[in-house]
């Protein structure tokens, strides 16, 4: 029995991110066979879908959504507003023009995939590590209102669940509490936010199960659904455990167990096979961190981490 069936028996949705390019290699069979949610890793980000002001390029995203439909997978659209991967043409616009382009972008994407993408990461990483709102093109030009506007514009075009997504929340208290206040304020003003996504890139920093459970409880106080949206596990080179595979597997077991304990209904891995992980290609990460962060190795073989996740799902499915 594969992960998706084990997860279903444990009342958990299990997902992975992918790009359209990965649909042409062996990892596609793993993606469709082992997971029941697909996150559009890069193909719906601004830089990919709107390289020029009047150009929308949907071919890659269309392929991903069609693949998900053929394989009975739900889809998370990632991400409508982010401070990274913004095309250069946006930077020459004034505030009114920028707001108009953001509105057009959000409405065009959510409307195009209404009924096909059931979850959107509407705003991604709007809070900095020090607990302040992140200095970005959007914040500098539009102020904090861009967050509320993006959610409202999305809700006007789709019935999908609308999420705020961010990293570091289980272990960075200042950031967690600022995100909490941000979302609390949005909800008090009637802004349609459905949930919060916990990016769990355990790269160097590995939050404890207690931190994870506490963070989930904190945001559920607001009535929000909480999902783990970007899970992978790597270690700093020079600090990695000697028995890396076994320690990584035990950590995966602990994280998935904590998610089930806390009532998290959806966990998404950020990638399928180790060789396609962002940890192996992002900036100087390959020189800083171990490069085996996922459940399948570069040949698509199951790792001890896969066995650990399958084991905890199997155990919880019998509860």
Residues designated catalytic: 125, 230
The Cα–Cα gap between 110 and 192 comes to 14
Whether residue 151 contacts residue 186, with contact meaning beta carbons closer than 8 Å, is answered with yes
Q: Report residue 123 CA to chain centroid gap.
A: 11
Residues 263, 12: Cα–Cα separation, whole Å: 9
- Both tokens of 11, joined, read 């009342």
> What is the residue whose two structure tokens read 């085996």?
292
Q: Is 223 exposed, middle or buried (0-12, 13-18, 19+ CB in 10 A)?
A: exposed
Pull the structure tokens for residue 198: 């916990």
Contacting residues for 87 by C-beta, under 8 A, at least 6 apart? 46, 47, 50, 51, 52
The pair of three-digit structure tokens given for residue 195, joined into one six-digit string: 């949930």
Q: Which residue(s) pair with 78 in the sheet?
A: 121
DSSP string, 148-209: HHHHHHHHTT--SEEEEEEESTTT-HHHHHHHHHHHHHHHHTT----EEEEEEEEES----H
Is the backbone of residue 263 left (phi > 0), alpha (psi -120 to 50) or beta? left
Report the C-alpha gap between 136 and 149 in whole angstroms. Answer: 16
Which residues 6+ apart lie within 8 Å of 41 measured at CB?
17, 18, 19, 78, 270, 271
């Amino acid at each position: 029995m594969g992960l998706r069936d084990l997860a279903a028996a444990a009342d958990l949705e299990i997902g992975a991110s992918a790009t359209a390019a990965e649909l042409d290699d062996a990892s596609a069979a793993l993606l469709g066979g082992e997971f029941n949610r697909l996150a559009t890793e890069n193909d719906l980000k601004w830089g990919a879908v709107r390289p020029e002001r009047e150009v929308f390029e949907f071919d890659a995203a269309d392929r991903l959504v069609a693949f998900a439909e053929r394989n009975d997978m739900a889809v998370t659209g990632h991400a409508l507003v982010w401070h990274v991967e913004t095309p250069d043409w946006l930077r020459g616009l004034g505030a009114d023009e920028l707001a108009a382009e953001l509105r057009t972008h959000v409405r065009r994407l959510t409307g195009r995939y209404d009924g096909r993408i059931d979850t959107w990461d509407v705003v991604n990483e709007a809070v900095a590590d020090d607990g302040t709102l992140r200095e970005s093109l959007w914040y500098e030009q539009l102020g904090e209102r861009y967050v509320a506007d993006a959610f409202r514009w999305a809700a006007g075009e789709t019935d999908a669940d609308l999420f705020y997504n961010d990293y570091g929340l289980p272990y960075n208290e200042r950031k967690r509490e600022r995100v909490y206040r941000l979302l609390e304020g949005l909800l008090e003003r009637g802004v349609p936010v459905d949930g919060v996504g916990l990016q769990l890139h355990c790269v160097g920093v590995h939050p404890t199960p207690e931190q994870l459970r506490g963070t989930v409880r904190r945001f559920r106080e607001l009535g929000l659904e909480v999902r783990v949206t970007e899970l992978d596990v790597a270690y700093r080179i020079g600090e990695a455990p000697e028995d890396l595979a076994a320690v990584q597997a035990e950590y995966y077991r602990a994280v998935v167990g904590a998610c089930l304990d806390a009532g998290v209904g959806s966990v998404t891995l950020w990638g399928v096979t180790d060789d396609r992980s962002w940890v192996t290609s992002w900036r100087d990460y390959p020189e800083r961190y171990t490069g085996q962060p996922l459940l399948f190795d570069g040949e698509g073989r199951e790792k001890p981490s896969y066995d650990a996740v399958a084991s905890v799902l199997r155990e919880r499915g019998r509860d």
